Amino acid sequence: MAPATPSRKPLMAGNWKMNNNHLEAIALVQKMAFALKEADYDAVDVAVLPPFTAIRSVQTLVDADRLGIQYGAQDVSQHASGAYTGEISASMLAKLKCSYAVVGHSERRQYHAETDEIVNAKARAALAADISPILCVGEGLDVRKAGGQVAHVLAQLDGGLAKIPADQVRRTVIAYEPVWAIGTGETATPKDAQEVCAAIRTRLAELYDGGPADEVRILYGGSVKGGNIAGIMAQDDVDGALVGGASLDPGEFVKICRYRDLPV
């Protein structure tokens, strides 16, 4: 596959999961913003994905201080509006100027029984509101041990992208997150990450004519930190990272954003 081009600007997205109230969120974004320089934003898109309750505060800070940090949500409803207690719609997130919404994170699939059909409906709801879905795919340890990771991930990809046309897939982000590497300290090797990310790009080329495969950003996620990001980013088909635990530490997250300065 072709190496990353300027049309695939790397994206480092910090998924805070269920951490940080709105006051803590402001403090964390301020620390990041203090450390990040213009050159960082030129090289990398930097995004935070706070809990829903903190998005408005992050928006206010980003707007007031004209920060280059992007932000988004960790989930979105598949429904547009109505009697869905506890749900947050894509149009509500668009009103908060969210750039991204994660869909199909393995924790949603596992704890909330989200199927590929639901994940697909969420991705389409996000796109309809001009929000880029970050579509998560990834295999469990049993699948990995049996060598079925590529087939498993491609089936999730096919399901997640169903009925999404080429002009919309261009703005979709795919995150490959092997479930066995999330929050465990076990990182996939750069070669493991490249194998699956390359297979994802090849499948995108099969599914879509006209070049979207070369434009879609594919992230790796799973115990990413300053010590392993450079090797992962050296892979041709990895265009960034979805970072969990390390994104809660501003120093570590900024280090990840500056992976170019780190040894491979």
Residues near ligand G3H (CB under 6 A): 15, 105, 177, 182-183, 221-224, 242-246
Q: How far is the CB of 248 from ligand G3H (least distance, A)?
A: 9
Nearer Cβ to ligand G3H (101/213)? 101
For the CB of residue 172, give the shortest distance to ligand G3H in the complex, in Å: 16
Contacts of 71 (CB under 8 A, 6+ apart): 47, 48, 49, 50, 55, 58, 59, 62, 98, 99, 100
223 has binding-site annotation: yes
- Spell out the residues 6+ positions from residue 95 whose beta carbon is closer than 8 angstroms to its own: none
Q: What span, in angstroms and rounded, lies between the C-alpha atoms of 174 and 153?
A: 11
Is 105 annotated as catalytic? yes
CA dihedral sign, ordered 53, 20, 183, 202: positive
Residue closer to ligand G3H, measured from CB, 40 or 177: 177
User: Smaller CB distance to ligand G3H: residue 212 or 222?
Assistant: 222
Annotate 43-78 with DSSP letters as a single string.
H-EEEEE--HHHHHHHHHHHHHTT---EEEES---S
Contact 246, 256 (CB under 8 A): yes
160 is known to lie in a ligand binding site:
no
Give the containing element (helix H, strand E) for 212.
helix 212-215
Q: Is 21 annotated as a binding residue?
A: no
Whether residue 225 contacts residue 256, with contact meaning beta carbons closer than 8 Å, is answered with yes
245 marked among binding-site residues: yes
Catalytic residue among 107, 114, 139, 177: 177
Residue 155 C-beta: closest distance to ligand G3H, Å: 20
Residue 264 burial (C-beta neighbours within 10 Å; 0-12, 13-18, 19+): exposed
Nearest residue relative to ligand G3H (C-beta) = 244
Q: Shortest Cβ distance from residue 190 to ligand G3H (Å)? A: 16
DSSP 237: T
- Is 183 known as a binding-site position? yes
Instruction: Select 36 or 246, whichever has its Cβ closest to ligand G3H.
Output: 246
Q: Which residue matches tokens 């934003």?
A: 41
Q: Cβ 224 to ligand G3H, closest distance in Å?
A: 5
| Of 152, 156, 159, 149, the residue nearest 188 (C-alpha) | 149
Residue closer to ligand G3H (CB basis): 20 or 223: 223
Has 244 been labeled as part of a binding site?
yes
Tell me which of 105, 107, 114, 252 is the catalytic residue: 105
* Residue numbers annotated as active site: 105, 177
Point out the annotated binding site for substrate.
Answer: 15-17, 183, 223, 244-245
